[in-house]
Amino acid sequence: MTSFGIFCRGVACTVLLTMLPGPLLAAERTLLRDMIGQMLLVGFRGTAVDGYSPILRDIREHNLGGVILFDRDVQLQSAERNIQSPEQVRALTTSLQANARVPLFVAVDQEGGRVRRFKEAQGFPPSPSAKAMGQGTTAQTRFEGERTGKLLADLGVNLNFAPVADVDVNPQSPAIGALERSFSADPDLVALHAQAFCRGLLAQGVLPCLKHFPGHGSASADSHRGLTDISNTWSAAELRPYEMLIPLKTSPLIMTGHLFLRQLDDAYPSTLSKSVLTGLLRQRLGFEGVIVSDDMQMRAIADHYGQAEAILLAVEAGVDVLVFGNNLDYDPEIVPKAIDILVKAVEDGRLAPERIEASHDRILAAKQQLYTRFALAR
| pLDDT mean over 146-168 | 98
- What is the pLDDT at residue 96? 98
Q: Is 224 a catalytic residue?
A: yes
Instruction: Examine the pLDDT at 115 and tell me if it is beyond 80.
Output: yes
Residues counted in the chain: 378
Provide the pLDDT confidence category of residue 249 given band limits of 50, 70 and 90. very high
d(CA 251, CA 195): 8
**Overall average pLDDT of the 126-151 stretch:** 98
What b/e readout covers 52-76, taking b as 16+ CB neighbours within 10 angstroms? ebbbbbbbeebbbbbbbbbbebbee
Return the percentage of the chain with pLDDT > 90, whole number: 85
58 is catalytic: no
**Alpha-carbon gap, residue 128 to 149, rounded angstroms:** 14
C-alpha angle 315/342/359, rounded to 5°?
A: 45
pLDDT in tens, 20-68: 566 778 888 999 999 999 999 999 999 999 989 999 999 999 999 999 9
Q: Which of 117, 161, 378 is nearest to 252 (CA)?
A: 161
Q: Is the pTM of this model over 0.85?
A: yes
Q: Identify the active-site residue in 62, 193, 224, 258.
A: 224
Residue 40 sits at φ, ψ, to 5 deg, of -115, 140
Catalytic residue among 222, 294, 295, 320: 294
| Reduced 3-state DSSP string for 316-368 | HHCCCEEEECCCCCCCCCHHHHHHHHHHHHHHHCCCCHHHHHHHHHHHHHHHH
Residue 122: CB partners within 8 Å, gap ≥ 6?
A: 71, 83, 84, 85, 86
- Domains parsed from the chain with CATH numbers: 40-331 (3.20.20.300)
Q: What is the mean pLDDT of the chain?
A: 91
| Confidence at residue 226, expressed as pLDDT on a 0 to 100 scale | 63
Q: pLDDT by residue (tens digit) across 79-113?
A: 999 999 999 999 999 999 999 999 999 999 999 99
More confident residue, 209 or 304: 209
